[in-house]
């Protein structure tokens, strides 16, 4: 049996195979479009603040007691941070802060995302 004869006899099978391949490729392309993955997470920027006053880790800090330091990945040292009782340098999400007159500050009282250092 020649190739032409084989294709002619199995035309429906080849058509069904081609259609299922196109549907599979389209489904796969649509399924993976725009998905986040572990290699490229979309994280909200975090900002470090020097905390004045006596706030435990779970207490919300008022804007007047938080001074912006930076947004580095590494926690800054801070000033007077030698203890274990109260927040000294704390990290807040971008959504917890605002910029007013070119100065970043807390957007109302906020509980920190994490605390890097403490004071007594």
Q: Please tell me whether residue 91 adopts helix, strand or coil conformation.
A: strand
Tokens 């927040």, located at residue: 87
Summarised one tens digit per residue, pLDDT across range 58-96 is 999 999 999 999 999 889 989 999 999 999 999 999 999
For residue 14, pLDDT over 80 is answered with no
Give the model's pLDDT for residue 1.
65
Band (pLDDT 50/70/90 cuts) for residue 15 is confident
Band (pLDDT 50/70/90 cuts) for residue 16 is confident
For residue 118, pLDDT over 90 is answered with yes
Q: Quick one: 51 exposed, middle or buried, by C-beta within 10 A (0-12, 13-18, 19+)? A: buried
Question: Residue range 11-34: average pLDDT?
Answer: 75
CA–CA separation, 89 vs 116, rounded Å?
Answer: 6
The sign one gets for the Cα dihedral 109, 110, 115, 116 is: negative
Band (pLDDT 50/70/90 cuts) for residue 12 is confident
Summarised one tens digit per residue, pLDDT across range 36-59 is 555 555 667 899 999 999 999 999
Mean pLDDT of the chain: 86
Each domain of the chain, given as residue ranges in start order, spans: 3-32, 46-119
């Amino acid at each position: 049996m020649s190739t032409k004869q084989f294709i002619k006899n199995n035309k429906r099978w080849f058509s069904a195979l081609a259609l299922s391949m196109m549907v599979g490729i389209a489904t796969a392309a649509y399924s993976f479009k725009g998905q986040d993955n572990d290699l490229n997470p979309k994280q909200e920027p975090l900002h470090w603040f020097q905390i004045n006053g006596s706030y435990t880790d779970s207490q919300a800090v008022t804007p007047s007691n938080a001074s912006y330091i930076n947004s580095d990945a590494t926690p800054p040292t801070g000033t007077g941070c030698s203890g274990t009782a109260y927040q000294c340098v704390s990290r807040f999400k971008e959504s917890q802060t605002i910029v007013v007159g070119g100065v970043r500050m807390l957007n109302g009282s906020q509980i920190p995302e994490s605390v890097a250092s403490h004071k007594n």
